[in-house]
Chain A
Amino acid sequence: MKQATIIYQSGQHQWIAVARDPERPNYLIDTNEYLITDGTMAILTDPGGSEIFSMVFAAICEAFDPAKISVLFASHQDPDIISSLSLWLDFNPALKCHISRLWTTFIPHFGGTDETLIGIPDSGSVMTVGKLKLQTIPAHYLHSSGNFHLYDEAARILFSGDIGAAMLPEELNDLFVKDFDRHIRYAEGFHRRWMGSPEAKRLWCERAAAMKIDMLCPQHGAIYKGADVERFINWFAELQVGSGLV
């Protein structure tokens, strides 16, 4: 089963990382889910694929009442991000799912209807869930053409979807990046291949550098904390991407 770990807490305001499933079959890519709550309501980021629904749901149950999750946020349209939607809707038919407006007619192939899906405009939006105010940050073409990240200004945490992702070997199983130079080797190939636009990357790096970020939380791999956040942004700014490189 995955582990639910509180990575931020201020009063009732929490970020809970749901990650690292030792029972996960090797043919499924490992994913991180993040539950953000004000104590009464919660939002779940990139809830994952249908095959790992059991592990995610069971881990959340250990730490939080899943009935209080009222909103799902999907950074983009991939199956490892949101193909569990129909199962979440089985659990709570009233759930809403925020995703780029580009994908609102694609995602119902996984589940849900136009009443479930709330399209985020290209320029981003502010999501209010209970006392939480979260900003959806445009990250189009990084890697999906309709792509958003989620910023919690109060917690100074950025959920960065596939940016910052790393395909880590089993021995590097820590939730947080411990040795940036060693870690980033496992991120390089992924970013070169999946990030499609140097211009979009430059804009994202400028935007991220201007934000106050204590933790950068990707959907795969380990979380960047403190000085490693800036290190990552600088590393990404320098990385050659999007020129047909394989």
Chain B
Amino acid sequence: MLMNELKAIAEINEEIKCIVCAAENISLTATNAVLVARQAGINAIGFSVVARELRVFSENTALAMHGLSGLIYRQVVASAAKRHRKRSLSLLAKTAAYGELTQTRLSPACMRSQAQLDELEQLIANLLHELLIAIRRTGKQCATGLVISRSAEIEAAYGGVLAQSLRQVAQDAEEVITHIAVRVRNLESRLAEAKS
């Protein structure tokens, strides 16, 4: 069960790494968008504003993922400590089961160990809750990101001779943000499952 807990955390972490990677792609796409908009000149001023917003979105996403990684690290530390504590507690309980004498001698140690285990379980539950809140916030950011990318597509139409290039950039951004949104949703349901 505990090993599965660590396995689940490792899988969540892999998901986060994929989102970080996608966020970096958005950053590149947004930079590209700013450059194309500059080439398009005055016609693409609207697109240029939206492209900068896309870059802000990518920075915020990367920042959010960095925060999630920190939470994940704390979750790993707590889960490993819980695993260690649980094993100790089971060995202490096994020892106590030898008879009345061992039970009397080890009772305070078992109680201390159980209290530490309870504390760790509470900490893990709190961290999971924090993770869920953070990922939901990221989900909302993604929804905003999608709106921005659609705005970019609309603004691309005013790009004159570069309209086609701008549209392509906007579509690329939308594709990547959709990809991030899907992963964030997966992450959210995975976390909600772990919490229940």
| B92 with A87: CB separation less than 8 A | yes
0 or 1 for each of B46-90: is its CB under 8 Å from A? (1 = yes):
000000000000000000000000000000000000001001100
**Given the interface contacts A90-B112, A91-B109, does A58 sit within 8 Å of B88 by beta carbon?**
no
Nearest-neighbour CB distance to chain B for A220, whole angstroms, equals 22
Query: Which of A1, A50, A58, A62 counts the most chain B CB atoms within 10 A?
Result: A58
Query: Cβ of A221: which chain B residues have Cβ within 8 Å of it?
Result: none
**Given the interface contacts A90-B112, A90-B113, A91-B109, does A53 sit within 8 Å of B102 by beta carbon?**
no
Nearest-neighbour CB distance to chain A for B27, whole angstroms, equals 41
Nearest-neighbour CB distance to chain A for B89, whole angstroms, equals 8
Q: Nearest 6 pairs between A and B by C-beta?
A: A58-B98, A54-B95, A91-B109, A61-B101, A90-B109, A54-B94
Chain A residue nearest in CB terms to B108: A91
Asked whether A112 is an interface residue with its Cβ less than 8 Å from the other chain, the reply is no
**Given the interface contacts A54-B98, A58-B95, A61-B98, does A87 sit within 8 Å of B105 by beta carbon?**
no
**Given the interface contacts A50-B91, A53-B91, A90-B112, does A1 sit within 8 Å of B98 by beta carbon?**
yes
Query: Cβ of A1: which chain B residues have Cβ within 8 Å of it?
Result: 98
Q: Is the interface of A mostly helix, strand, loop or mixed?
A: helix
**Given the interface contacts A54-B98, A90-B112, A90-B113, does A61 sit within 8 Å of B105 by beta carbon?**
yes
The count of chain B contact residues (Cβ–Cβ below 8 Å) is: 16
0 or 1 for each of A26-69: is its CB under 8 Å from B? (1 = yes):
00000000000000000000000011011001100110011100
**Given the interface contacts A57-B106, A67-B105, does A87 sit within 8 Å of B98 by beta carbon?**
no
Q: How far is the CA of A210 from the CA of B99 in the complex (A)?
A: 45
- Interface footprint category on A: 10 to 19
Chain B residue nearest in CB terms to A51: B91
| B95 with A53: CB separation less than 8 A | yes
Query: Cβ of B101: which chain A residues have Cβ within 8 Å of it?
Result: 61-62
Q: How far is the CA of A217 from the CA of B87 in the complex (A)?
A: 31
Partner of A90, one of B92, B98, B102: B92
Q: How far is the CA of A67 from the CA of B108 in the complex (A)?
A: 12
Chain A, range 81-99, C-beta contacts under 8 Å to B = 86-87, 90-92
Nearest-neighbour CB distance to chain A for B133, whole angstroms, equals 34
Query: Cβ of A65: which chain B residues have Cβ within 8 Å of it?
Result: 105
Interchain Cβ contacts under 8 Å between A and B, 25 examples: A50-B87, A50-B91, A51-B91, A53-B95, A54-B91, A54-B94, A57-B102, A57-B105, A57-B106, A58-B95, A58-B98, A58-B102, A61-B101, A61-B102, A61-B105, A62-B101, A65-B105, A67-B105, A87-B88, A87-B91, A90-B88, A90-B92, A90-B109, A91-B109, A92-B109
| B92 with A66: CB separation less than 8 A | no
Nearest-neighbour CB distance to chain A for B106, whole angstroms, equals 6
| B105 with A66: CB separation less than 8 A | yes
Nearest-neighbour CB distance to chain A for B95, whole angstroms, equals 4
Q: How far is the CA of A86 from the CA of B116 in the complex (A)?
A: 14
Query: Cβ of A53: which chain B residues have Cβ within 8 Å of it?
Result: 91, 95
Query: Cβ of A61: which chain B residues have Cβ within 8 Å of it?
Result: 98-99, 101-102, 105
Chain B, range 11-43, C-beta contacts under 8 Å to A = none
| A91 with B91: CB separation less than 8 A | no
Query: Which of B91, B99, B101 counts the most chain A CB atoms within 10 A?
Result: B91
